[in-house]
Amino acid sequence: MGFPGTWMTESESVVYRVVPKCACSSIGQIMFYSDHGRFYDGDIHDSTSGLHKWAQEDSQRVIEANVKAHKSFAFTCVRNPYTRILSSFFDKICGIQRNGKRYRGNLVPMLVQKYGIEVGGDDGKQEFDQIASFRRFLLFARDTIRFRKPMEPDIHWSAMSGHISTFIVNGGRYDHIFFTEKFDDGMQVVLDNIKTRHKVNLKKIPKFNESEGHGPKRLHPVEAYFDDLSHHLMWEIYKRDFQLFKYDFDNPANKMPKGEVDLDEVHAKLGD
């Protein structure tokens, strides 16, 4: 299986396991900058050189050798499951993507038809009941994750622990897992532990949010989207994420983690 979703600088200074919707654009650009002294011109997900990625065949042998020998500092980044799934909904389901089309072609029409979801019309700009539509989307997300119907789960809403575990199961070990909500603190720990060709000053790094502006703005506070049934579904889908990454399941309004990630616990529970 190897190391899907794994990126590494060409200098092999650092290894990163991508978790979608968890600041991956910013992290990828920082890694690129640390090697080249400039940012990638465009969305870092589109780069095909300047950064080793598992999806690039030429990179696989290098990444595998590095990770299995634990030659470089390895890390990943997580995010509150409530805000992560909301972001997925507004970006991927309601938003028009970089190519000017809907995400995954017929996905949105199928959701409109089978789950009664509204997305703000063809351009995503018309008013619609965000709360009702989001809750129906959450039901769909649960169906894909639990029953793999009407389709396989998408990487943007499948559990973070699932992404993070593949790295461990196939022989990798993380040195650091930090929170999107405390990005600068967490990323600084990474930079303090590696040697980079170009110095990175996090205070001067722009935030690369590639999904911003794709979809409608969220009109309500996070907690407004989650009623009793939504809570139940969130626990069913993301129980491990809440537990391992110390997020507050009982209070969707609290986006901050309640403690630090216990790396030994993560490796023990996700490594089997």
* Average pLDDT, rounded, for the chain: 95
> What's the average model confidence in pLDDT over 227-235?
97
Task: Return d(Cα 78, Cα 80) in angstroms, integer.
Answer: 7
Q: Return the closest-CA partner of residue 110 out of 145, 153, 89, 140.
A: 140
78-124 pLDDT, tens digit per residue, is: 999 999 999 999 999 998 887 888 999 889 999 999 999 999 887 77
pLDDT value at position 213?
65
179-213 pLDDT, tens digit per residue, is: 999 999 999 999 999 999 999 999 999 888 766 66
pTM, two decimal places: 0.95
Residue 1 predicted with pLDDT over 90: no
pLDDT value at position 248?
98
Paired residues of 17 in beta bridges: 6
Q: How confident is the model at residue 253 (pLDDT cuts 50, 70, 90)?
A: very high
Q: What angle do CA 187, 264, 53 make, to 5 degrees?
A: 50
Domain residue spans of the chain:
1-97+154-216+237-272
What is the CB neighbour count within 10 angstroms for residue 268?
11
CB 261 within 8 A of CB 161: no
